[in-house]
Structure 1
Amino acid sequence: MAVKKFMPQNAVGIIAGSAVGLAVVILLFIWCFCRIEPGNGEIAVLIKKTGKTLPENQIVATSPEYKGIQLDVLGEGRYFRNPYVWEWQIKKVTDIPAGKFGVLVRKFGKNLPEGEILAVDENSKGIVREVLGTGRHRINPYAYEVKLCDDIVIMPGNVGVVANLCGKDIFSGTPNDLKNHQGFIVSADRKGVQQKVLKEGTHRINPYIQSVAIVNIQSQRYEFSGKDAIGFITLDGFHITLEGTVEFNISAESAPLLTQEVGNMEDIMKKLILPSVSGFARIEGSKKSATEFIVGESRQLFQNQLEEFLRRNCLNWGVSINSVLIRDINPPQEIAEIIRNREIAAQEAKKFSQQIQQAKSATELERQKMLALQSRSKVEATTRKITSEIAAKQSQLEKVIAAKTELAAANLQFKTAQAEAQADLAMAEAERAVIAAGNKSEVEILKRNIAAYGGGEAYLRSKLYEKIAPNIESIMTNAVGGNAFGLPLLKNHSVNNNVKTTPAAAVQK
């Protein structure tokens, strides 16, 4: 029984160990032989070992059903494939640096017609129209070839003339869509120079499809001197050479035509401007004498006529003439000394004329200084006069204002005094009226009293008695009835009751 129990347990352990070992072996096999791990900046190109055979003349399988090199690649990462079905190769990614772009050349697909280099679709061999920009691209090196090209940088003041390298031939019988330029400028679907130019900036043009010629449209200067000097025979048979400068520029619109028909900037100078200047100088120079080119107004007139002729002749080509300057005229030696002496005399005369003019200018300057001094003195005197007049007027105005103020104050005081006097008069008049009224009342009372007493004498006697009666204690009388002082007694009146009558011999107080 012990043996029977031991054997199954041992078998289970062996089976378990074998399973674990097999799993480890399988994992190691997968990790070592099935793992595809492209690193940074790498791709994996897959090659299938099984499947359908590729069609004739094909080197890349566009789908996994065909064996051979597969079109799609694996980027950075970790992948697992069956090594009995797949084979792979690690390649570098296509890295396009700054300032460049890539042109793809497809190696698989249908063959192109004879004479064609541009792939018409995604299933054709040849050059791909679209270009690759700066950066990393996962391009299958067995399917595509990448050609690096420099960016086309057009600086300010320049344009790019574009010429198609692919398309219909200009003489294929297809009519030109543009109606001018005698067929030198073609439409966009034909070979040849295009009317539209590239402006300033960075452009990425497929060099297998189009070529770009950079043309300077800034102002250019052409010097006709030395061996390029213009020589001609004058009317009187002397040989004269001209040296000068022509400034010109071409327009952006005319750059394609000039590039196609004339050439580059050097060709424009040699084939267009120089023959025009030389032809005009020979024709017009033969109509004038040698002296006319050296002195007088004929030289300036000749220069103006040359500039007008060049403008008119070059305008048809799209060349703008900015200026023409005849810098030097070289006469023959036979008349050079005469002309030189004449020029020296003219310079001396000009110098003397300048000296005279300077003296006149100095005199005029002194006169202007004196006039300025006189004018300044006059202005100062006028200023002082105006200042004095203003001060006098101001003082007079102040005095008038003060007098008016005093007059107003006096008038106010007068009116105040007048009002006070009128008030005093009114007060006095009122007092007078009161006094008069009082006096009148007293007179009336007096009249009534007198009338009551029966006369003025009786009234006066009564008043007298009223004044002295309070101080009389006794009165002496006589038998006759008179008083002690010989005063008559009042009728129907008696003296105060507190006065007692005493003999006439004495009146005692």
Structure 2
Amino acid sequence: MTKKISSIVVLVLVVVGAWLAWQWLFCRFYVAPNQMAVITAKTGSPLPPGQILARPGQKGIQEEVLGEGRHFLNPFFYEHSIVPVLVIPAGKIGIVTSKVGEELPDGEFLAEPGQKGIWRKVLGPGKYRMNPIGYRIDVSDAISIPIGYDGVITSLAGGQTPEGEFAGAGQKGVRRDVLQPGLYYINPREFSVAVLEIGVNQVSLLGKWGTEVITKGQIATQNRAMNELQRSLLMEQQEKRADYLQAARTAAAPAAKKTGEAAPPPAKPLSTEESISTFVLNQFVEFPSRDGFEISLDMTVEFELLPQHIAWIYKSYGDLPAAVDKIIMPQILSVSRLKGSAYGARDFIVGEGREKFQNDLTEALAKTLLERKIIAHSALIRHVNVPMQILEPIQQASIAQEQDLTNREKQNTARKLAELNTETSLIEQRREQVAQETMKLKAEVVADQEKQVAEIKGETLKLVAQIDKETAAVQAERATRLGRADAERIRRVEGEKARGFQLRIAAFGDSDSYNLWTLADRLNDRVKVNILHAGPGTLWTDLERARLGDLGGAALIEQQSGKGKSGP
């Protein structure tokens, strides 16, 4: 029994080892970073008609792909191919075209996820694992609106918008809302974005050479990728405008050929190093004056497009060249001819007529363009082209008038020079007179100052002597009083000392007692008196019977006290 169990265990281990070896050696494959594996199933149910990607359990290319890492698939049932993942860099979008899914309804050309066709939603920057058999992804630029521009959105999908209105959600046409400067991930199949300059632009009329429109160019930013996106968008804008201008020149060519006029120069292309962009229109201002002369103008009109009106202008007229060609230039031509025909040719050369015409033109143009949501700031006339038959006499008359004025000014200058010389002589004479009077006044002032100094000095000496006298008297009085006070002090001090001695002597009775007390008081406290007995027959023998109080000053005081008591 034990041998049978051991055999089973060994068999199981062999089978497991063989299975692990099979998986590791034959079924294992590795997907590197930034790659994916497309799997093809060799077995399973066949695909229905029209289906190109298989789901689990179906035979064919599987819809799901495998990401990076280690995977195990039986090579008898599956095949795999390694392909790179889709990487969409910054500033780009991915437009997905799905080859799988449900068919789109009639009239629709943008699909949602799960439908076949171009997806409405775009892929932003990032990495995506989408089966390349079922999905085609086209990488395109995102929309980067430069500073100084607005993006006008035109919806390409949806129902038809009523005429004269802005498109709403789900409608085709120009939308009211515009894109401010920034980066936008917009599907170009769903929306078309036209960038238009906002702010102040210029229209320069160059006589019969046509009209040059000066607009702002690209304002560079710190982001190089953003600059490239904006440059690409502006170049696309320039190409569209060039097509429009070429069509306009082609349409105007027969008229120019008929009149024998030179064709206008081509539009100036946008340069990334320039801060302005220009394009040329084949229009110019020319009108008859009141007296029948042909007048042409070189002028500059500054106009402004506001962000809140830019969508309406684009919907009504088109891009900036079309707006200038259809709105601004016709109004400039109309107002110039209407106002200019009321002035004579001479008014455009001399006097205040030219300035008045310029003011009238600016006012009328501003009022007319404001009705079309365009603000005209100024209309500056740089040059007026007048026929020579009237210009030359006026110039000669002006030259003669200026010469006459010059001669008059020369005469006035000579007269003023003579008057100046006379005034200069008078000034020099007056200067000498003032100098002499100044010296006289200076001498008088110095003498008066010296006199005042001497008087002040005498008064000062007199006051000093008086003060010295008073000081000496005060000092003498002080010395006398101090001497008297000092003598009185000494007398009183010494008198009090003597009185003190008298009181002390009186206290002791006589002067001898006081002297003895004084002697005893001044003896050192450490003085010792030793009495030695020398034997009989001497002075010291009597001392044996004597008391200490019977000796010296004590005996004397006692005797005197006894005499006092026995007195009368």
Query: Structure 1: how far apart are the matches of 2:458 and 2:10?
Result: 142
Query: Structure 1: how far apart are the matches of 2:342 and 2:430?
Result: 60
Say whether 1:38 aligns with 2:31: yes
Say whether 1:236 aligns with 2:291: yes
Say whether 1:338 aligns with 2:331: no
Q: Residue type of the partner of 1:37?
A: Y
Say whether 1:58 aligns with 2:39: no
| Contact 2:102–2:116 (CA under 8 A) maintained in structure 1 | yes
Q: Secondary structure at the match of 2:477?
A: helix
Count how many residue pairs are aligned between Structure 1 and Structure 2: 410
Specify every segment of 5 or more residues in structure 1 that has no aligned partner in the other structure, as ranges.
1-13, 172-181, 434-509
Q: CA deviation at 1:211?
A: 0.9
Query: Structure 2: how far apart are the matches of 1:318 and 1:384?
Result: 81
**TM-score, normalised by the number of residues in structure 1:** 0.66
Q: CA deviation at 1:280?
A: 1.8
Which of 173, 177, 180 is equivalent to 1:196? 177
Q: Secondary structure at the match of 2:103?
A: coil
Q: Residue type of the partner of 1:217?
A: I
Cα distance change of structure 1 residues 75 and 429 upon mapping to structure 2, 3 Å threshold: closer
Larger radius of gyration between Structure 1 and Structure 2:
1
Q: Residue type of the partner of 1:306?
A: L
Which of 48, 62, 74 is equivalent to 1:70? 62
Aligned to 1:440: none
Query: Structure 2: how far apart are the matches of 1:385 and 1:28?
Result: 133
**Deviation string, structure 1 residues 445-503 (Cα, Å, up to 9, x no partner):** xxxxxxxxxxxxxxxxxxxxxxxxxxxxxxxxxxxxxxxxxxxxxxxxxxxxxxxxxxx
Aligned to 1:505: none
| Contact 1:104–1:128 (CA under 8 A) maintained in structure 2 | yes
Map 1:266-305 onto structure 2 (within 5 A).
Answer: 266-305=321-360
**TM-score, normalised by the number of residues in structure 2:** 0.59
| Contact 2:339–2:360 (CA under 8 A) maintained in structure 1 | no
| Contact 1:184–1:261 (CA under 8 A) maintained in structure 2 | no
Q: CA deviation at 1:141?
A: 1.0
Say whether 1:206 aligns with 2:198: no
Over the matched positions of the two proteins, sequence identity in percent amounts to: 35
Map 1:228-377 onto structure 2 (within 5 A).
Answer: 229-349=284-404
Which of 153, 165, 170 is equivalent to 2:156? 165
Aligned to 2:132: 141
Q: Secondary structure at the match of 1:78?
A: strand
| Contact 2:306–2:374 (CA under 8 A) maintained in structure 1 | yes
Say whether 1:119 aligns with 2:119: no
- Note the aligned Cα RMSD (angstroms): 4.8
Cα distance change of structure 1 residues 95 and 427 upon mapping to structure 2, 3 Å threshold: closer
| Contact 2:155–2:167 (CA under 8 A) maintained in structure 1 | no
Query: Structure 1: how far apart are the matches of 2:434 and 2:135?
Result: 96
Q: Residue type of the partner of 1:344?
A: I
Cα distance change of structure 1 residues 422 and 170 upon mapping to structure 2, 3 Å threshold: same
Aligned to 1:491: none
Cα distance change of structure 1 residues 283 and 17 upon mapping to structure 2, 3 Å threshold: same
Q: CA deviation at 1:385?
A: 12
Cα distance change of structure 1 residues 429 and 89 upon mapping to structure 2, 3 Å threshold: closer
**Deviation string, structure 1 residues 24-74 (Cα, Å, up to 9, x no partner):** 76555434531231223321022334455555543334x535444333321
| Contact 1:36–1:44 (CA under 8 A) maintained in structure 2 | no
Aligned to 2:120: 129
Query: Structure 2: how far apart are the matches of 1:385 and 1:41?
Result: 108
Query: Structure 1: how far apart are the matches of 2:366 and 2:209?
Result: 24
Query: Structure 1: how far apart are the matches of 2:441 and 2:363?
Result: 65
Aligned to 1:216: 197
Which of 209, 214, 218 is equivalent to 1:226? 209
| Contact 2:296–2:386 (CA under 8 A) maintained in structure 1 | yes
Q: Residue type of the partner of 1:48?
A: A
Aligned to 2:164: 183
| Contact 1:219–1:248 (CA under 8 A) maintained in structure 2 | yes
Q: Residue type of the partner of 2:128?
A: H
Query: Structure 1: how far apart are the matches of 2:326 and 2:126?
Result: 45
| Contact 1:151–1:204 (CA under 8 A) maintained in structure 2 | yes
Q: CA deviation at 1:353?
A: 6.6
Query: Structure 2: how far apart are the matches of 1:382 and 1:106?
Result: 112
Q: CA deviation at 1:408?
A: 7.4
